[in-house]
Amino acid sequence: MARRVREHLDATLPRVWGDLLEVAASAREQLGQARTLIEPDQWQAALGGEVERLTENGQLEHATERLLSKLERTLFDSPKTGLVSLVGAGPGDPELLTLKALRRVQAADAVVHDRLVSAEVLAFASPHAERYDVGKSAHGGGSTQRDIERLLIDLACQGKRVVRLKGGDPFVFGRGGEEALALARAGIPFEVVPGVSAALAAPAAAGIPVTHRGLSSSVTIATGHDTSAHDWHALAQTSGTLVFMMAVEHLDTICAQLIGHGRPTSEPAAIVQWATTSKQHIVLASLGGIATAAREAGIEAPAVLVVGPTAALSGRLAPEGTHAEAVAV
């Protein structure tokens, strides 16, 4: 359809119109769900001026970028509708924030954040932005999930640009799905801005490739919190890398279950705590020894447990001086 419209325009109208259509389509796609909040007259205004000039010059990529930034500004300057952005803040290092996440945080009227979002990332928010720390502790203190959902809805109903900032990726053990469903039910416009999950960033920062030709052809991300939820036989029988999040409290159970269901006690394992931050701490041991090694090293949350042959590569690939303990694997 778009191709036919384009052909028709090319045949009947100046070429720039067809190119403008292409630029608009590309910006529309990149805006995702947020595009539904932009009115036709706002599109028309944004397509004029510099966007039109760049398009005329054949600089379609630049024109798209310019259009996108004009539309985003329009979107966030619009006082009539609130928008909730469920934003992944990455694993801790502020440089691992995506460009889109940065833009949303800078433009936010209200930032609703978790405990694990680093102070450096929060510092990108405007000093005028309202801040709500709704972090839940490992033992369930802090706001309830229902309180958080209600707060997001209230703020959006006040017409605010709300950024719900979560560690890592909002949809990886971040309860982002529940919040998205609550917003959808309440008819609140929202978008999801994916983030770099600690599930992948922590092994990477510790020099552990989660897949590696000849060593691991799959990666499974599991919770270490609700250990009764797993089919341990199935988990142990996968030959690839296993990554457990929220693993510290039940380390003994996790390792015992994996060994009990067939993973060798000698299998390489690693714990990576505070990955990508200045407090990063890596402990390497065999699967049979990692729980004791982690305890001796004083490991506490947040940390991920990585189990699989590639964990042994950490000894060679981790940045120098980052292993506090390395037990023979």
Ligand X SMILES: C[S@@+](CC[C@H](N)C(=O)[O-])C[C@H]1O[C@@H](n2cnc3c(N)ncnc32)[C@H](O)[C@@H]1O
Active site residues: 114, 136
Distances from the Cα of 35 to the Cαs of 22, 38, 161, 317, in angstroms? Answer: 16, 6, 15, 43
Binding of residue 202 to ligand X (CB under 6 A)? yes
For ligand X, the binding residue among 156, 188, 245, 290 (CB under 6 A) is: 245
The interface region with ligand X, picked from 7-15, 181-189, 272-280, 285-293 by CB under 6 A, is 272-280
Q: How far is the CB of 152 from ligand X (least distance, A)?
A: 17
Of 285, 247, 242, nearest to 263 by C-alpha is 242
Q: How far is the CB of 202 from ligand X (least distance, A)?
A: 4
Binding of residue 246 to ligand X (CB under 6 A)? yes
Binding of residue 283 to ligand X (CB under 6 A)? no
Q: Which residues contact 322 (CB under 8 A, 6 or more apart)?
A: 206, 280, 281, 282
- Dihedral angle computed from the Cα positions of residues 234, 236, 241 and 242, in that order, rounded to the nearest 10 degrees: 80
Residue 124 — left, alpha, or beta (φ > 0 → left; ψ -120 to 50 → alpha)? alpha
Residue 253 — left, alpha, or beta (φ > 0 → left; ψ -120 to 50 → alpha)? alpha
CB atoms within 10 A of CB 256: 16
Residue type, 13: L
For ligand X, the binding residue among 9, 82, 87, 91 (CB under 6 A) is: 91
Binding of residue 173 to ligand X (CB under 6 A)? yes
d(CA 241, CA 222): 11
For ligand X, the binding residue among 71, 242, 303, 307 (CB under 6 A) is: 303
Binding of residue 169 to ligand X (CB under 6 A)? yes
Binding of residue 301 to ligand X (CB under 6 A)? yes
Binding of residue 302 to ligand X (CB under 6 A)? yes
The site for ligand X, by CB under 6 A, has a size of 27
> What are the residues binding ligand X (CB under 6 A)?
91-92, 116, 166-169, 172-174, 197-199, 202, 245-247, 272-277, 301-304
